[in-house]
Amino acid sequence: MKPTTHAIRMGVRRGWTEFVQSVRSTQDQGFYIFTGLAVLGYLIIRRNTEVEGTDLLIPTVAMPSIIGGLVTFGVVIGPAYALAMEREDGTLLRLKAAPHGLTGYFTGQLLFHSISLLPQLLIILIPSFLIFDDVMSNGASGWVTVVWVLVLGLLATMPIGMVIGSLVPNAQKVGTWGMLPIMVLAGISGIFYPIQQLWGWVQVIAQIFPMYWLGLGMRSAFLPDSAAMLEVGESWRTGWTILVLGAWAVVGILVTPVVLRRMARRQTGSQVEAARETAAQWIR
């Protein structure tokens, strides 16, 4: 077998191992349960509120949008933190020292962060279906839409996380360069209220980034066609969704390997040592 193919298989095994270890760790279980409860809590509090101008209830409309937002959040912040931290603590360097180890490492990251979405989705979807009515209006074809929006959304957003993780000077800076922009985007991407309520230029900014389109795609999957009336242009704009997410995916696939290679090339033992000393010295 070719060593690269072999390394990709090692990476798949690595990603799976990381996933199993994550699901078993109380730390990560806590995170999954916390986000799940927070989202469900919000939906339950507003379970009887109707969305203005329709006969749809808030949970029905908000749930797909929140899923879109959480996917973006998880897939950007997850890899950003992982890369920034594993650059500092020597994980990356260890893999760099093994033949084709970096191929294995990045394959593992890709798989791990993708499948890590599953527990998060399930912890919101399963209770939602049990508690609320009319969560999925479109049957099987709706689920097909969920899957392709998810896959395209992953391809569009995960590279952003990897690039942030490669470029930030240290893990603590992921807050500034990753968390903060994502929070702002979540606020303006039509997750908690319709995007049309915002100023025109804010709407433009929101529609440049993939988060809005992931939410829109999810709404088109779960909600009845009549709900499209609430959207910009009174349409699901499926073509635009594919175009914008696709464009981000293509740029990501072209740019990310270059950024990752550049970052990995600079990895040395003394850099890891310096990061350790920096982390040990909190106050400077």
CB 229 within 8 A of CB 54: yes
Q: Is the distance from CB of 11 to CB of 114 less than 8 angstroms?
A: no
Query: Should residue 47 be labelled a site residue for another protein when binding is judged by CB under 8 A?
Result: no
210 binds another protein (CB under 8 A): no
- Helices and strands in the chain: count of H runs, count of E runs: 13, 0
Is the Cβ of residue 27 or residue 141 nearer to another protein in the bound state? 27
CA-wise closest residue to 160 among 214, 124, 90: 214
Of 234 and 277, CB closest to another protein: 277
Stretch that binds another protein, among 12-20, 34-42, 188-196, 249-257 (CB under 8 A): 12-20
Residue 50 interacting with another protein (CB under 8 A): no
| DSSP 8-state secondary structure symbol assigned to residue 55 | S
- Which of 8, 12, 22, 138 binds another protein (CB under 8 A)? It is 22
Per the rule left: phi > 0, alpha: psi between -120 and 50, beta: everything else, 134 is left
Binding region for another protein (CB under 8 A) out of 75-83, 97-105, 138-146, 189-197: 97-105
Residue 90 CB, nearest distance to another protein (Å)?
5
96 closest CA partner among 258, 265, 262, 255: 265
Neighbours of 50 (CB within 10 A): 13
The only residue of 59, 104, 153, 165 in contact with another protein, by rule CB under 8 A: 104
d(CA 226, CA 208): 25
- SS3 assignment, position 257: helix
239 close to 146: Cβ distance less than 8 angstroms? no
- E strand or H helix that includes residue 111: helix 101-115
- Give yes or no for residue 13 binding another protein (CB under 8 A): yes
**Does 46 engage in binding with another protein (CB under 8 A)?**
no
Piece in contact with another protein (CB under 8 A), picked from 98-106, 120-128, 142-150, 187-195:
98-106
Comparing CB distances to another protein, the nearer of 82 and 186 is 82
Asked if residue 79 binds another protein (CB under 8 A), the reply is no
Residue 173 interacts with another protein (CB under 8 A): yes or no: no
For residue 165, which of 155, 152, 180, 175 has the smallest C-alpha distance? 175
Residue with smaller CB distance to another protein, 25 or 238: 25
Q: Is residue 257 part of the contact set for another protein (CB under 8 A)? A: no
Q: Interface with another protein by CB under 8 A: which residues?
A: 1-3, 6-7, 10, 13-14, 17-18, 21-22, 25, 86, 89-91, 93-101, 104, 267-270, 272-273, 275-276
